[in-house]
Amino acid sequence: MAIKITDECINCGACEPECPNNAIYEGGVEWAIADGTTVKGAFVLMDGSTMDADQRNTPISVDTYYIVPNKCTECQGFHEEPQCAAVCPVDCCVPDEMYQETVDELIAKKDKMHF
């Protein structure tokens, strides 16, 4: 499953540079699939819809850092554990129960973003 950042976030920013998928954004910042990945053109999201990789999207949060679920792979294929959770001083990077994915699915997502 993807990781999410809870309301306990203190906006320290420690998590953002640790993400190998560039899935973490500062509150209020627009995001795109192409940010920090090799994806170009159409990208199929987890819900089956398609989005242009360069499309700028509305921030998921305006007040705190946030994680884009369609880009989060729990660091599978990069690290032994989610790096955001490992560096978070207040333990606000937790599994997002809304996005249930197997390790194989997370690796496949990683492979789609970094080819």
> pTM of this prediction?
0.94
Q: CATH classification of 1-114, choosing from 3.30.70.20, 1.10.1040.10, 3.40.50.2300, 3.90.79.10?
A: 3.30.70.20
Going by C-alpha positions, the residue among 30, 32, 19 that lies closest to residue 75 is 19
Question: What band does 87 get if pLDDT is binned at 50, 70 and 90?
Answer: very high
What H or E segment, with its residue span, contains residue 105?
Answer: helix 103-113
Q: What is the spatial distance between Cα 114 and Cα 106, in angstroms, rounded to a whole number?
A: 12
pLDDT over 80 (residue 1):
no
Q: What is the spatial distance between Cα 112 and Cα 41, in angstroms, rounded to a whole number?
A: 12
Mean pLDDT of 38-52: 95
